[in-house]
Chain A
Amino acid sequence: MFSYVIRRIVQSIIVLLIVMLVTFTLPYFQYHGILGPAYAVLGTKASPANVRIWGIQHGMMHPYVVRFFTYVGQVFLHFNLGHSYKQNMSVLQIIRLYIPRTIWLAASSLFFTTIIAIPLGIAQASKRNTRFDYAGTGVAFILYGVPAFLLCQLALDFFSFHFPHLPSSPPQGVAPWAIFTNPVGFILPVACLTLLSLAFLSRFMRGAVLEVLVQDYMRTAKAKGCSNRRTLMRHAFRNALGPIVVILGLSIPGLLGGALIIESVFNYGGLGIQTVAAATNLDIPVILGITLLISILTLAGNLIADIMLGIVNPRIRVEGTGR
């Protein structure tokens, strides 16, 4: 298990290098080349001389390869993600300031998604092809077809304008715990993100349990006199847990992507809003930093999912150590 984890971590670092290479190279293809941000910072009518001076000040006149390796060294050796062009903060400061709010949002909606979707999926699979199952499938399909922003704006319209009970945006303080000064404002964003990720997870859970239900050991369990409830909980659930754990690990980028839209609609000042602002302002260090951070989270999620998979399904653990 230990050597497996080490190998996975080495692979993850290689993947991170590829991510950095891609995100670092992309800005070179802009209209103004690597000096594009200069026009975003100094204005569209900046003189070529000023643009050039700005480029020299920000170390942009070095060759591509030199710049890339400087950046990689800076990130891996000093954990320095650079300095924002637009805001007078280092990228690390920006991330530290905004990430707690995004984590509250993503983690609580992941929590609610899990505790709703898993029982729902099991219930649908065990009562398949009944009205309940069809209703669940229909709702899941519709939720999957609604654009995220439309769902949020409809929720906003219903619950905060026509039936004004819920605040339209959460508290705006920047302290990590500011969100809890008025938790009611937290309800709408979390509910929307939960609904959006619910569709996929409940469909997936239904499929996973259905796969298990046709296995021989399920028939054996029934034959030896297990109650329906016991077969579902002891046999079906545990065996369907494997794919679910993997999917939860893989859902991190999707969740953060959804958070981006939800943060924009509800004016929830987290990393998502920063991402959109950085992308439209060509604030490249911030873009690179946030991408890197999310990639690290994703890869860590995958790794933890694989380790968890070894815990819920000992067969994989044996294979992993055998290699």
Chain B
Amino acid sequence: MNHQAVVEKLIELVTPFAEGRPVAITESTGITSELGLDSLKVMDLVVAVEDEFDISVPINALAEVRTVGDFAALIQKSTGDNA
């Protein structure tokens, strides 16, 4: 799956967690800074992503994730698909 396709799928998964936030979610949207996801919601999002992409996301790798695009890159790394 290419980067754009991962981003689009990820936006679909993030959207329910960002309810009530009048922010158009794009690749550069900050997951905690703009969408306001707290640590619990982030972990729920991680589980949803893991199920969708059939991967395990190491929690230590999340420290580097700020934006939707960062997360998409991490997913691609985990799926071994960096195209």
Asked if A and B are interacting partners, one says: no
